[in-house]
Structure 1
Amino acid sequence: MSRLFNILRARRAVKEAHFMSRADLLKLQERRWRGMARYALEVSPFYRRHLAGIDVERCQITDIPPMTKELMVENWDEIVPDKRLRRAELEKFLHDPKNWGTLLHGRWMVSTTSGTTGPGFAVPHDIASVDWGHACQNLRNSTSPRSASQPPLPLFRRRLKVLAFVTATSPSVSAALYATRPWIGALFCTYHRINITAPWSEILAEVHRIQPDAMMGYASLFGRLAQAQLNGELNIRMPKDKGYIWAGGDAVTPGIRDLCRRAFGIEPFNMYGCGETLGIARQWRGMEHLHCHDDMLVFEAVDAADQPVPDGVLSDHALVTPLINKALPLLRYRVHDRVKLGPVDAHWPFKRIEQIIGRSTMCYVFKTPERRVFIGTNFLFFMDEQQEVAIYQFRQTGPDAVECLFVPQPSVDVPVLQQQLESLMRRCLDDGDCTSVKCSARMVAQLSPDPRTGKVEQNVPLADETA
């Protein structure tokens, strides 16, 4: 029953924020970040050093020194407030797959980050903060606060079938959120899940068997599903009035949006977050941009010196201060995404995000000499079938050229594989009306991460063209 009370309290608080003015929401946000700073000072020896000389009752949030991932990992046991959340305890808990998707001591959801910015590590979240996220998912769904509401109970009709694509072969955030969802949601929906790392043929068969009304998962996966639907490999019918597609983890590109519209009659919505902070922003039904959860976190777009950048200016990176999760107090935690903030919407008090660059740079602009735009997701469509490739990256090498760098699996005939990849790239580019773009494939021993994001991006267009 405690989860039910969590949801009800979170639902009431989330809904109250909907009707606040921007000024009142910022006051609420300030009360919460100062409260989190006081809490961090109380429970954490690290923060007592990190915030030495700073009066958290009077300072501005920009006076607080940022927290990097390296600082967090290095000082973990002096940051978490409970000895049961120390690094060794979390790793021991997740070492047993039976614990994946269960609550540590009945109160913490524990999952691992993706590891795309370095080695993955375990992160705890208060189950109360997780329930706040579920409340947001259910209530922030419309163009205005007055039209946003909890879905009605389906008393005389079948419940909505919701399909979640999760990484089930590790204690991932997606799998943990699915496994620890509140039981009350089952009154409104029936939930199904598919392991996103399963063979593509099995994924298609399961999607066809389930016949979902709604789907949640990676944007690039929905592009592939839409293409399968259009090619006749998949046949599902999603209701256009109540059905939805929530996409996160990578970009909802124009190509993916168009594919889903043509295949399912539904455009996917964007979600934005990371394992350390969970949800940062979402796109709501009828809204063009993502909107920050300003009542649940402080999201700052900053320059290289950690100073705020104006709306409409692309940041060097971003800083996030979660306001609900006390299992891991984070003050101004650095995420390596470049973002562009926009004005507050007329009907909502929340800041909007107009652009995100970092994890989602997937659009190539070629000049041959005529301008050609190519969505990098199209390359990914054929790569999942290449079992002989361990790791790969598509990189634009000039205005009219792109190459595929690949790390082969052991005992592979590299010249044959190279020729096969070049042939697939050629076909893909020709289908995208980029017949004059040169393509090549090249084996490498390893792939280096992007120095800005720390990730090995699957698509790397020319930076000046992307901008």
Structure 2
Amino acid sequence: MSRLLNILRARKEVKTAHLMSREDLLKFQEQRWRAMARYALEVSPFYRRHLAGIDVEHCQFTDIPPLTKELLVAHWDEIVPDPRLRRAELEKFLSDPGNWGTLYHGRWMVSMTSGTTGAALAIPHDLAAVDWGHASQNLRNSASPHSSRQPSLFRRRLRAAAFITSTAPSISGALYATRPWVGALFCQYHRINVTAPWEEILAEVQRIQPDVMMGYASLFGRLAQAQLSGELKLHPSPERGCIWAGGDAVTPGIRDLCRRAFGIDPFSMYGCGETLSIARQWRGMRHLVCHDDVMVFEAVDAEDQPVPEGVLSDHALATPLLNKALPLLRYRINDRVKMGPVDSEWPFQTITQIHGRSTMTYVFRTPERHVFVGTRFLFVMEHRTDVAAYQFRQTAPDAVECLLIPQPGADEALLLRELPAAMQHSLQEGGCPGVQVSARVVPQLQPDPRTGKVEQNVPLRDETA
């Protein structure tokens, strides 16, 4: 019953926020971040030191010093408010696979971050914050808040397939396993192990015939290829069917494949384990839209100063406004993003570009040592629609290659000439001369056996990577 009340409260708050003016929404956001700052001061010895001399009742939001992952790890037990949320205890809880997807002490959803933003961490989330996310997923679903539709008991229940790793306590697995029971009235949920053999994944998708699919963008690229080749025969409804892609980038090639294979334009989701959802795209949207009612999201330069709209940031800062299990104020996320204007219909700011985790770092030795941020390689592919999928992989201390799957009908010879030249230019601009580059066409890209995700940057292991 408490989950149902959470959902009802969350639905009311979500509907109220998405009908606000931008000015009123920013006032509402300020009320929430000041409340979270007061709470952090009340419960956390770390924040009492970190915010010393700052009057949270009257300061500017940018007066609050950022929180790095290193600080979070070093001072964890002084940041979390409940003694049951100690880092060692959470890691012990998640060390038992039998606990994955169960509520910790019946009140917190706990999962392990993937480690793409640094060291992997066990992260707790209040059920109230989790249920807000479920309510938002259901209520924000069209180009205008006035045309958003609520789920109906009088329509056939949607069949949803969630592609989840079974080899780690992931955030996607935790969200699936702890979803509120009321959702089953509107949707049949099916879990598919994304790390299973490919033939088993195809057979399970074929059996379920999902209307909705949720998982990695790279996985949907592979499924679209299987549909086009005849290995898979799905018949999703263009009106009700949808593909929610997160965890890696929806590239132009993957988007085009899904359109041709399923008649559906995939929607992007953006978040991380520490913050849950930051932004997402829904029907009728061109770009991702920030959840400004429960998140302060900032695109900043290397000095943590805001960058203008349309300018690529050095990194980002995120402040979740509901999760009191782990108060995070201006938490650094090593993503390079480009912000857009406020949406014309919704009172939320847009994100026009996201360029991966800047912690995906290559170390080249030519023989001099050079550090190269892998997001630069993503710019090489930013507008290429003739490549269905790709992966940059370091093959030696002084060499990197691009593995690629061309779109049907693409000029492979042209790709194999242009891509190495573009890679070389990117390396030169990044201060890494002398690195050997190459490109080759492959029939398939191999996913990481632990996560099931096809990584777009694969550097050699190094002391800084």
> Which interval holds the TM-score relative to the shorter structure?
0.7 to 0.9
Deviation at 1:436, TM superposition (A): 2.9
Alpha-carbon distance in structure 2 between the residues aligned to 1:84 and 1:47:
19
Q: Which residue of 2 aligns with 1:313?
A: 311
Give 2:192's match in structure 1, choosing from 171, 191, 194: 194
Amino acid at match of 2:354: I
What is the DSSP-based 3-state SS (H/G/I as helix, E as strand, rest coil) of the residue aligned with 1:194?
strand
1:151 has 2:151 as partner: yes
Alpha-carbon distance in structure 1 between the residues aligned to 2:456 and 2:286:
26
Amino acid at match of 2:141: N
Alpha-carbon distance in structure 1 between the residues aligned to 2:84 and 2:277:
25
Q: Would you say the 8 A contact 1:54–1:64 is kept in 2?
A: yes
Q: Which residue of 1 aligns with 2:415?
A: 434
Alpha-carbon distance in structure 1 between the residues aligned to 2:378 and 2:258:
18
Give 1:346's match in structure 2, choosing from 330, 344, 347: 344
Question: Which structure 1 residue ranges, 5 or more long, are not aligned?
Answer: 367-371, 381-391, 405-420, 442-455, 462-467
Q: Which residue of 2 aligns with 1:272?
A: 270
Alpha-carbon distance in structure 2 between the residues aligned to 1:271 and 1:94:
25
Q: Would you say the 8 A contact 1:219–1:247 is kept in 2?
A: yes
Same amino acid, percent of matched pairs: 72
Q: Which residue of 1 aligns with 2:132?
A: 132
1:378 has 2:385 as partner: no
Amino acid at match of 1:434: L
Out of 142-151 and 277-286, give the one that drifted further. Answer: 142-151
Alpha-carbon distance in structure 2 between the residues aligned to 1:375 and 1:113:
33
Q: Would you say the 8 A contact 2:393–2:400 is kept in 1?
A: no
**CA root-mean-square deviation:** 2.8
- Cα deviation per residue 1:350-407 (whole Å; 9 max; x = unaligned)? 01111111347775649xxxxx947766235xxxxxxxxxxx7269x99xx9615xxx
Deviation at 1:118, TM superposition (A): 3.0
- Cα deviation per residue 1:257-290 (whole Å; 9 max; x = unaligned)? 1100110010100000000000000112101011
Q: Which residue of 1 aligns with 2:361?
A: none
Alpha-carbon distance in structure 2 between the residues aligned to 1:6 and 1:122:
24
Deviation at 1:343, TM superposition (A): 1.0
Amino acid at match of 2:121: F
Q: Would you say the 8 A contact 1:11–1:132 is kept in 2?
A: yes
Deviation at 1:20, TM superposition (A): 0.6
Q: Would you say the 8 A contact 1:317–1:339 is kept in 2?
A: yes
Question: Which structure 2 residue ranges, 5 or more long, are not aligned?
Answer: 358-374, 421-437, 441-453, 460-465
Q: Would you say the 8 A contact 1:394–1:458 is kept in 2?
A: no
Q: Which residue of 2 aligns with 1:329?
A: 327
| Structure-2 change in CA distance of 1:394 and 1:458 (3 Å) | farther
Give 1:210's match in structure 2, choosing from 208, 211, 229: 208
Alpha-carbon distance in structure 1 between the residues aligned to 2:42 and 2:159:
45
Q: Would you say the 8 A contact 1:363–1:376 is kept in 2?
A: no
TM-score normalised to the size of structure 1? 0.82
Q: Which residue of 2 aligns with 1:60?
A: 60
Deviation at 1:69, TM superposition (A): 0.3
Q: Which residue of 2 aligns with 1:357?
A: 355
What is the DSSP-based 3-state SS (H/G/I as helix, E as strand, rest coil) of the residue aligned with 1:436?
helix
Q: Which residue of 1 aligns with 2:8?
A: 8
Count of residues paired in the alignment: 410
Deviation at 1:50, TM superposition (A): 0.3
Q: Would you say the 8 A contact 2:257–2:388 is kept in 1?
A: no
Alpha-carbon distance in structure 2 between the residues aligned to 1:101 and 1:133:
17
- Cα deviation per residue 1:413-442 (whole Å; 9 max; x = unaligned)? xxxxxxxx89x99x999648424356368x
| Structure-2 change in CA distance of 1:362 and 1:196 (3 Å) | farther
Q: Would you say the 8 A contact 1:164–1:217 is kept in 2?
A: yes
Alpha-carbon distance in structure 1 between the residues aligned to 2:171 and 2:320:
16
Give 1:236's match in structure 2, choosing from 234, 237, 255: 234
Q: Would you say the 8 A contact 2:25–2:293 is kept in 1?
A: yes
Alpha-carbon distance in structure 1 between the residues aligned to 2:27 and 2:67:
23
Q: Which residue of 1 aligns with 2:451?
A: none
1:167 has 2:170 as partner: no
Alpha-carbon distance in structure 2 between the residues aligned to 1:17 and 1:215:
27
Amino acid at match of 1:436: R
Deviation at 1:117, TM superposition (A): 3.0
Deviation at 1:314, TM superposition (A): 1.2
Alpha-carbon distance in structure 2 between the residues aligned to 1:300 and 1:96:
36
Q: Would you say the 8 A contact 2:218–2:389 is kept in 1?
A: no
Deviation at 1:99, TM superposition (A): 0.8
Q: Which residue of 1 aligns with 2:50?
A: 50
Q: Which residue of 1 aligns with 2:248?
A: 250
Q: Which residue of 1 aligns with 2:362?
A: none
Alpha-carbon distance in structure 2 between the residues aligned to 1:352 and 1:117:
22
| Structure-2 change in CA distance of 1:429 and 1:304 (3 Å) | same
What is the DSSP-based 3-state SS (H/G/I as helix, E as strand, rest coil) of the residue aligned with 1:209?
helix
Amino acid at match of 1:351: Q
Q: Would you say the 8 A contact 1:269–1:284 is kept in 2?
A: yes
Q: Would you say the 8 A contact 1:109–1:176 is kept in 2?
A: yes
Q: Would you say the 8 A contact 1:272–1:279 is kept in 2?
A: yes
Deviation at 1:10, TM superposition (A): 0.3
| Structure-2 change in CA distance of 1:373 and 1:286 (3 Å) | closer
Q: Would you say the 8 A contact 2:22–2:347 is kept in 1?
A: yes
Q: Would you say the 8 A contact 2:112–2:120 is kept in 1?
A: yes
Q: Would you say the 8 A contact 2:252–2:385 is kept in 1?
A: no
TM-score normalised to the size of structure 2? 0.83
| Structure-2 change in CA distance of 1:432 and 1:121 (3 Å) | farther
| Structure-2 change in CA distance of 1:184 and 1:196 (3 Å) | same
Alpha-carbon distance in structure 1 between the residues aligned to 2:93 and 2:132:
24
Out of 303-312 and 270-279, give the one that drifted further. Answer: 303-312
